[in-house]
Amino acid sequence: MRVLVPVKRVVDYNVKIRIKSDQSGVDIAGLKMSMNPFDEIATEEAIRLKERGVASEIVAVSMGEAKCQETLRTALAMGADRAILVETAVELQPLAVAKLLKAIVAREQPGLVLMGKQAIDDDSNQTAQMLAGLLGWPQATFASKIEIGDGTATVGREVDEGIETIRVRLPAVISVDLRLNEPRYASLPNIMKAKKKPIDTLTPEALGVDPTPRLDYLRVEEPPKRKAGVKVGSVQELVAKLKGEAGVI
């Protein structure tokens, strides 16, 4: 079974982001970029499926500028077999990404699409669901446990009440959550080998997809700073503040 793993290049989660002076977006100039953490977990899970003999090939896919090759080489160093870059300077929104992935699926014919539940830059949490809808495939989101067998995937999903277990027929789209696994570190020999592996480069036009954004950002601003907390001397004082200042009771 071939597994397709989309990976996104985002600002590293350890970096404090800055808003552009014109409030048009986030200033990423000079910032450290890395693979989206949820996509890293999806890549690790695909590698574990291959190690168990469930998957035969892992294909990593990224979309965006040429610099996204760095993210693909991280996936190759971790254990992906091949990489595909859909190169474009257009800002890709979830629907456009889903349409491009649908075209890639038509070319690659994977038995499973394994992806992060969301990207940490826009937090949209939409692409997996849109892709499943466009393909007409079953989907399982927020996966914290995945078992493959007999043409089905049994998935433990993280929901408000705990873990919900469902079974979907393959091919399917599965989006993963944080507690699915702990991604491995790529070894130095594998990093060096990944630098020499070819990356197939495509364009949205070659895939027959118009990536033009459908949403316009009007303004991006930081959330208001929280006021400092205060200590209260008694329950009565706490209740008084909740009633008079906070207005929550």
pLDDT at 30 over 90: no
Integer Cα distance of 146 and 1 in angstroms:
15
- Looking at 150-190, which runs of residues are DSSP E strands? 152-159, 162-169, 172-176
pLDDT at 34 over 90: yes
CATH of domain 2-246: 3.40.50.620
Integer Cα distance of 50 and 60 in angstroms:
14
- pLDDT in the model for residue 167: 96
Enter the pTM of the model. Answer: 0.85
Per-residue pLDDT tens over the stretch 95-108? 999 999 999 999 99
Over range 129-158, report the average pLDDT: 96
The angle subtended at Cα 85 by Cα 218 and Cα 191, nearest 5°, is: 115
Closest to 38 measured CA to CA, from 176, 185, 174, 139:
176
Per-residue pLDDT tens over the stretch 145-178? 999 999 999 999 988 888 999 999 999 999 999 9
DSSP single-letter state for residue 207: T
Sequence ranges of the domains in the chain: 2-246
Q: Could you tell me the pLDDT band of residue 21, with boundaries at 50, 70 and 90?
A: confident
